[in-house]
Chains A and B, each alone.
Chain A
């Protein structure tokens, strides 16, 4: 029911246990060389230069390849060469589970098919211009929000449009739930809607009716809804090599000054929902 990585799918389904998964991930750590070691193996760096790259990374938050280019040790084409070599020799978790004896080849094949079926519901469909979604995470965040609103809150939802600024709140009572994230980029996701629509989300999450004036219940449930979107976005990000770490949820207006904003307007029969993706 969630975006998972293959190892967790197997663990949750009781196909493997925690020790088998840890043994396989240790095997991966041993076999999958890091960027610097791969570059040395390819003869593009030596240990002294790699040490200088690491020293630079202690003062600047940049990747090893970027540091290598900045110091003049590597060219962009060489960084691509290292990344390709890493990708080509990468041992996936499934292969690692076979190598460490947790699965047979036949079991792996069967489980991969089951995993693909499980994750088909999370195939992404929203597209945004790259200059408006520099992190590449706003589009999947919108997709996940729509899918979870339908699945967890039982709402009929349609993506109406996407804008790049946040209008002021209109009349009536609205609630805003927010979850901040850090990692490769900092920002937050937020969900803003009328009390009536938020009460519907809360009702769906709790499986029982929630009145529009039950503020604390509604904020807790919509925050948890957003937390689930954020957690699954972390899993999508991890598949793309992007780190997304979540903070605990909060509520209140979303500050907009100097921030890059993507606002998805989602239509429901009882009113619109604004899903807001902000990068600092």
Chain B
């Protein structure tokens, strides 16, 4: 993989933002451009500084992850968005994310190896 890829982390939990950012930064392959606490903040951040990748939760206040994903794909149809969610193990929810344009879906709880394996393949 050439160079460092930039990532926008979107989750209403500061705990998850911190966990994910640590995994990504410590790998040396990703730079976290910023983090957003809900879908509306994520859209603003995406428009002002488009990242190479978005890692986003599904259940969030204001604008949920699936709606935000659809809007991100309207702004940039080839945007690479990986959903990271505790409801990723529910088949209907997974299909909803994929139909909205998610590149992959990672279940919570996650481990660093799984996160990096999925993001490296995107």
Which A residues form the contact surface with B (CB < 8 A)?
Answer: 1-5, 7-8, 11-14, 18, 21-22, 25, 93, 148, 151-152, 202, 205-207, 217, 220-221, 223-224, 227-228, 230-232, 234-235, 238, 246-249
Contacts and interface: CB of A to CB of B under 8 A. Distances in A.
Interface residues of B, number: 38
Given A1-B109, A1-B114, A227 B86 contact: yes
Contact of A2 (B61, B88, B94, B99): B88
B95 interface: yes
Q: Which 5 A-B pairs have the closest CB atoms?
A: A231-B86, A235-B89, A2-B107, A224-B13, A4-B89
Contact of A230 (B86, B107, B110): B86
Given A7-B91, A12-B114, A21 B98 contact: yes
13 contacts: A7-B91, A8-B91, A12-B104, A22-B99, A206-B18, A217-B15, A220-B13, A223-B13, A227-B108, A228-B86, A232-B86, A234-B87, A235-B87
Given A1-B111, A2-B108, A14 B89 contact: no
Contact of B95 (A4, A25, A230, A246): A25
B104 A234 contact: no
A11 B122 CA distance: 12
Contact of B90 (A21, A152, A224, A234): A234
B60 interface: yes
Interface string B56-99: 00011100000000000000000000000111111111110011
A12 B107 contact: yes
Contacts of B18: 206
Interface string B1-36: 000000000001111101100100000000000000
Given A220-B15, A230-B86, A5 B105 contact: no
A212 B91 CA distance: 38
